[in-house]
């Protein structure tokens, strides 16, 4: 299907047709029997490099490769020689002799780029400080599932201009979804990523807008998205960020300003009572846990398409 052997480093590695291929494969894998799925990648191995802690990324990839008939190898920072001075290039070349693909969750986006450059096998970005492409694919798969499409919808992202915000912008632009990002002054998304997203949006006919007004962002939105205010590695800033972001909480007032059928998303883990209230995350508009489940289906689709 044109994705065999490909890397997934950034959301713009895929065009709209290729994203639709991933979605279609996720639909197929969701509906087929567990026994049939085991014949998808029999005997294949996925190296999973984790330099950041994880719940959903590890469980979804490890369970996913197992359900496809393959095997996942968890490699923490303490398990590898990278901390002892081995280069990314040597790690990539070595793992290419042992396994069929690599998934990496790390801090520096350049590490993923370098890993893909020197590996002879597909490399999947499980998260960096800059981008989170698998998350965004699962998010838009969820929106499509719940709202029966993506073209022309309005997605409001409220919170920090972080890696999730970056990937949402890119995938929204690719899929023709309008996106408005509301962030406090000084916490805007990366200007280069905004520029890339707007270039893509100019072709797809969607809009990428920035504001510091969260109520304006959610007005009439079909989907509202938030994330933690202090990402991994920013724990020392948490107290300061709570004060700065206090008006950016997704609560009943903001939900009422959205479209009547609006859905609410959060990539988890959630700091309940900070960026989102219990009444919203547990309410009728929340699709947060369907969204979390869809990480499994989307990542199975990605693994199958690039490894088969």
Give dist(CA 47, CA 89) in Å, integer: 15
Residue 246 known to be catalytic: no
Burial 262-272 (b: 16+ CB within 10 A, else e): bbbbbbbebee
Q: Cα separation of 258 and 235, whole Å?
A: 31
Instruction: Name which of 22, 17, 299, 301 is nearest 174 in CA terms.
Output: 17
**132 catalytic residue (yes or no):** yes
- The catalytic residue among 51, 135, 145, 291 is 135
- Residue 265 near residue 225, CB atoms below 8 Å: yes
Angle at the Cα of 283 (from 278 to 20), degrees rounded to 5?
110
Name the DSSP letter for residue 272: B
CA atoms of 216 and 236, how far apart (whole Å): 30
Helix, coil or strand: residue 79 = helix
135 a catalytic residue: yes
At 142, give phi and psi (nearest 5°).
-65, -45
State how far the Cα of 200 lies from the Cα of 29, in Å rounded to an integer. 29
Helix axes 133-147, 16-31, angle to 10 degrees: 70
List 109, 111, 145, 267, catalytic entry: 267
Out of 40, 56, 58, 132, which one is annotated catalytic?
132
d(CA 227, CA 184): 14
Verify whether residue 44 is a known catalytic residue. Answer: no
Of the candidates 214, 285, 199, 288, the residue with the CA atom closest to the CA atom of residue 245: 214
Pull the structure tokens for residue 7.
């890397």
Choose the catalytic residue: 109, 160, 227, 241. Answer: 227
Catalytic residue among 105, 241, 266, 285: 105
Residues classed as catalytic: 105, 132, 135, 227, 267, 295
């Amino acid at each position: 299907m044109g994705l065999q052997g490909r890397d997934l480093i950034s959301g713009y590695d895929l065009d709209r047709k290729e994203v639709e291929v991933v979605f279609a494969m996720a639909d197929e894998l969701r509906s087929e029997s567990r026994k049939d799925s085991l014949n998808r990648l029999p005997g294949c191995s996925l190296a999973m490099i984790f330099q950041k802690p994880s719940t959903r990324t590890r469980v979804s990839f490890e369970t996913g490769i197992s359900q496809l008939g393959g095997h996942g190898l968890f490699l923490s920072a303490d398990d590898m020689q990278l901390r002892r001075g081995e280069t990314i290039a040597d790690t990539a070349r070595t793992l290419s002799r042992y396994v069929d693909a690599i998934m990496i969750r790390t801090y520096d986006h350049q590490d993923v780029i370098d890993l893909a450059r020197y590996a002879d096998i597909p490399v999947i970005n499980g998260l960096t400080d800059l981008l989170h492409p698998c998350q965004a694919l699962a998010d838009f798969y969820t929106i499509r599932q719940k709202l029966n499409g993506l073209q022309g919808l309005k997605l409001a992202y409220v919170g920090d201009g972080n890696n999730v915000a970056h990937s949402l912008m890119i995938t929204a632009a690719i899929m023709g979804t309008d996106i408005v990002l509301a962030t406090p002054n000084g916490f805007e998304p990366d200007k280069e990523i905004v520029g890339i997203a707007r270039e893509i949006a100019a072709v797809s006919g969607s809009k990428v807008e920035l504001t510091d007004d969260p109520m304006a962002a959610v007005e009439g939105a079909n989907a509202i998205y938030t994330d933690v205010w202090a990402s991994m590695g920013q724990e020392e800033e948490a107290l300061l960020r709570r004060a700065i972001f206090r008006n950016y909480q997704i609560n009943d007032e903001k939900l009422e300003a959205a479209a009547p059928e609006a859905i609410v998303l959060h990539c988890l883990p959630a700091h309940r009572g900070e960026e989102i209230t219990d009444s919203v995350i547990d309410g009728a508009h929340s699709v947060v846990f369907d969204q979390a489940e869809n990480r499994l289906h989307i990542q199975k689709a990605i693994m199958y398409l690039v490894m088969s």
